[in-house]
Amino acid sequence: MDLDMHRMSRAAKTGLRSLGSFVWPSRSLVSGEHHGGDGLIAPDDFAKLTFLSGSGCQKCALPLEADLGDAGICAACVARPPKWDAARAALQYDDASRKPVLDLKRAGRRDGLATYARWMALAGRDIIDRADLIVPVPLHYRRLASRGYNQSGWLADALSRQTGKPCSHDALKRTRPTPTQGNRSARERHLNVRGAFMARPSRLKSIEGAHILLIDDVFTTGATLAACTRALKKGKAAEVYVLVLARVVRPSDVTI
């Protein structure tokens, strides 16, 4: 396509999009309902979301009762420090954030990605500053082939566009397919993914000595993130920071 054609096609697409939003008002990411506003989230729906940026545990992003500042670490992380060096989450995973998270994960709805990346960039601004490379939690190649996309890879790309930090989709490799983590206890989840990841030998140069920002859509028990961190540290990453879109805070919200 020559440049003029490309420009025309882009103008046509922009025109269609604005016409589309006139004929079909935006569908809120949170409720899925049409609403009259311009944004992707109806104002009433936005108010239902719980953002975690700020005063959570520095190690696992769990909200803390009081803001303990940079030293704020929850009792669980003091007793059993996570393998990664810091963790941040944009949203609490709950009734309000379940639909956008599942629409992204299971239905491949992409129109919220730039918004999610902005929220994640805000929640993780300190660890993003320190990061050299963004790495998403990978799917096994067979799962990727059947689903056609990796939602964590989409989030990592959107965050890379937002922050200008480089992103590597293949720094980590899933060495075996693992059954879904749903309906498993924390211990079963850890056993299920233990040893399921490795640092890809051809990417060791970019991992060794690097500060890695590990991206996933949801932090449930941290089992997958711990297995990925172990693989990155085995590949001699200097530090691993976890950044997720949503974090399960109450065990009753574990539906994923």
Q: Does 77 bind Zn ion (CB under 5 A)?
A: yes
Binding of residue 89 to Zn ion (CB under 5 A) = no
The verdict on 87 binding Zn ion (CB under 5 A) reads: no
String of DSSP letters for 24-90: SPPBPTTT--B-SSSSSS-HHHHHH--B-TTTB-TTT--B-SS--GGG---HHHHHS--SSSEEEEE
Q: Find the shortest distance in angstroms from Cβ 76 to Zn ion.
A: 5
How many residues bind Zn ion, per CB under 5 A?
A: 6
Cβ proximity to Zn ion, 75 vs 204, nearer residue: 75
Q: Which of 29, 49, 74, 254 binds Zn ion (CB under 5 A)?
A: 74
Measured from the CB of residue 70, what is the shortest distance to Zn ion in angstroms? 14
- The kind and range of the H/E element at 245 are strand 239-248
In the complex, the smallest distance separating the C-beta of residue 105 from Zn ion, rounded to whole angstroms, is 24
In the window 11-50, what residues touch Zn ion (CB under 5 A)? none
Side chain identity, residue 148: G
Joined together, the tokens standing for residue 136 give 């998403």
3-state secondary structure 173-195: EECCCCCCCCCCCHHHHHHHHCC
Q: If binding is defined by CB under 5 A, does position 88 make contact with Zn ion?
A: no
* Residue numbers at the binding site for Zn ion (CB under 5 A): 57, 59-60, 62, 74, 77
